[in-house]
Structure 1
């Protein structure tokens, strides 16, 4: 007997696999909703972009080609990696950002949920496919390292966080645009 009573283990595994695959089939719709929520939370975190930060604005140049893979599965892996980088950036020293703490926490939790969902849907084969495209991975890493270095160079001051928040908004909007195209 198992912890579920008289239900055979095989049936439990079959149901778990079916539920998991159903979640993965609806992933694009879930992603769109979560991205919309993340964008709203980014807006809610802070106020309007401070005028004094305009002169510090920086171009990070998101590598858009990583969002144009030939396979949907490779796209999921790319998004998962992007969300992991964003989560890492927004897990740093946010004290000088002067943002709404609840919105930050909700944003971080939402990113974590998206990462978890994508990880559950991405197989090792798909992960291998994206890892074989090392150029794309390196471009993403370089892009997020620029943002991280920018924050460090500016000692995580208010303007550096506001510029980074605006960049993450742009990044999420690009992902949302591609997810919408994939759904059509």
Structure 2
């Protein structure tokens, strides 16, 4: 979810709807969390059976973010479209 959020808000179209300073803070925060997560996952993956995989959850997250990309494209990456996406993602992270 962090990686997909980072990718979404790291597109050229996202900068048109956001304050560039706030967007840069978001990029930095997401990047730091991804680095921290990678470090944790590296330790966990050494302990787990690699045959188990994570296909189901990974596929569900990718589909979720593909839907967001389609929504933004259909709404021509409008400011209100980006605001809707921001609210939706914040709601998901808080659940």
TM-score (norm 1): 0.45
**Alpha carbons of 1:87 and 1:94: their partners in 2 closer, same or farther (altered >3 Å)?**
same
1:150 aligns with 2:71: yes
Q: State how 1:27-176 maps to structure 2 within 5 Å.
A: 82-92=1-11, 93-97=13-17, 99-123=18-42, 124-125=45-46, 126=48, 128=50, 132-174=53-95
Runs of 4+ in 1 over 6 A off after TM superposition: none
CA contact (8 A) 2:15 2:23 kept: no
Specify the alignment match of 1:76 in structure 2.
none
1:24-48 deviation digits (Å, cap 9, x = unpaired): xxxxxxxxxxxxxxxxxxxxxxxxx
Q: Residue 132 of structure 1: CA displacement? A: 1.7
- For structure 1, list consecutive stretches of 5 or more residues without a partner in the other structure: 1-81, 175-184
Bigger radius of gyration: 1
The CA distance in 2 between the partners of 1:110 and 1:134, in whole Å, is 26
The root-mean-square deviation of aligned C-alpha atoms, in Å, is 2.0
- For structure 2, list consecutive stretches of 5 or more residues without a partner in the other structure: none
